[in-house]
Amino acid sequence: MAKIYKHLTTQERAVVMIMRADECSTRSIVKRLCRSPSTISREFKPTSGSGVYDADLAHTSATLVVFWRDVCQNRMPMGRCFRWSAIS
């Protein structure tokens, strides 16, 4: 059985960004948003190198991941402009 993850909303990501900037602990963010600790820690993984969390960048990245996952699994038809072929 596949795990089902519910993505954070834009507003939740904004709260995470503000609390992270205020140097709040991950546990305090978890309590504030009533989310799983693993959900919040996954939000920080892509930005762990720079150490700065950007809510807009995180939301855009998550949206693109969902879009391309759906395209690759053929859940969404691709338009002609996205298809590549060696033969024209």
pLDDT tens sequence across 52-66: 788 878 888 777 777
Among 17, 19, 12, 55, which Cα is nearest to 34's? 12
User: DSSP per residue over 14-64, as a string?
Assistant: HHHHHHHHTT--HHHHHHHHT--HHHHHHHHGGGTTT----HHHHHHHHHH
Single-letter residue type at 81: C
pLDDT in the model for residue 42 = 82
Q: Would you list the domain boundaries of the chain?
A: 10-73
pLDDT in the model for residue 74 = 64
Lookup result for tokens 């720079």: 50
How many C-beta atoms surround the C-beta of residue 29 within 10 A? 22
Question: Is the pTM value of this prediction over 0.75?
Answer: no
